[in-house]
Amino acid sequence: MSKNYPQVTSYLYDLMIILHKKIFNPLVISKAIHLTPAQFSVLFYLRRRDNSSVTDVAKYLKISKPNMTPILDALIKKGYLKRTRDEKDRRVIRLHLTASGKHFYENLKAANTHIVEDLFSEYSEEDLEQIMFHSSHLLNLIKNVSELMRDEDFNYEPGKEFELPEETFEDLPLTEEENSESDPNEEDDSEPNP
């Protein structure tokens, strides 16, 4: 065991607490976007792994399949998600983000970018470049900890331009009535319990 593990653990813990409390507090975010933290986690997972099975998502989130059903139902009702049967094995239910779900996720990232801009507005351009360089380097070093981040396309590049969507977070439809992609005639294909 490395003698540096306690210090690394301490730094990562402090970083997590600060980020959680000041920037990405899931309770504040979930109230603003009308999603529970579990629903947001499903969107996050599917943004990286679209077409996953209910079983894969449940396993990653450490939620039982029966408890996944209300989470998925709520996302389907909002028009952010759809279920389909696997073409090769009809017992398997696949999950897909809809165009509205992808749009919602990207706009949420943009809204968080504005929060970060406000928090770091007093920093110099040089300080911001240092934060960007070190945070991207840290993420590249630890990305193997999460199976979700092991993709080749999940590479953090300091200086890589991040483009915000044209619309703002406030422009997003948050109710079923406002969401044009919601299909009231869509069947509910809950994955059968084993």
pLDDT in tens, 140-150: 777 767 665 55
In this prediction, residue 109 carries a pLDDT of: 81
Please name every residue paired with 81 in a beta bridge, in sequence order, or none if there are none: 97
Answer yes or no: pTM beyond 0.75: no
pLDDT of residue 149: 57
> Is it the case that residue 81 has pLDDT exceeding 80?
yes
Residue 182 resides in a domain: no
* 113, part of any domain: yes
98 in Cβ contact with 78 (< 8 Å):
no
Structural domains in the chain (count): 1
pLDDT, one tens digit per residue, over 45-57 is 999 899 999 999 9
**Which pLDDT value is given to residue 93?**
95
Please report the pLDDT score of residue 15 as a whole number. 84
Any domain includes 34: yes
What contacts 24+ positions apart, CB below 8 Å, involve 97-100? Answer: 97/43, 97/46, 97/47, 97/50, 98/181, 99/181, 100/173, 100/179, 100/180, 100/181
Percentage of the residues of the chain whose pLDDT score is greater than 90: 31
**pLDDT(25) > 80:** no
Beta pairing partners, 83:
95
**184 occurs within a structural domain:** no
pLDDT band at 82 (very low <50, low <70, confident <90, very high): very high
Residue 178 lies in a domain: no
> Does the pLDDT at position 151 exceed 70?
no
Q: Which CATH number does the domain housing residue 156 bear?
A: 1.10.10.10
**Of 156 and 128, more confident:** 128
Q: 117 is in which domain, residue-wise?
A: 5-171
In a domain, 194, yes or no: no
In the prediction, which pLDDT does 114 show?
A: 79
Domain-embedded: residue 179:
no
Residue 177 covered by a domain: no
Assign 188 a pLDDT band (cuts: 50, 70, 90): very low
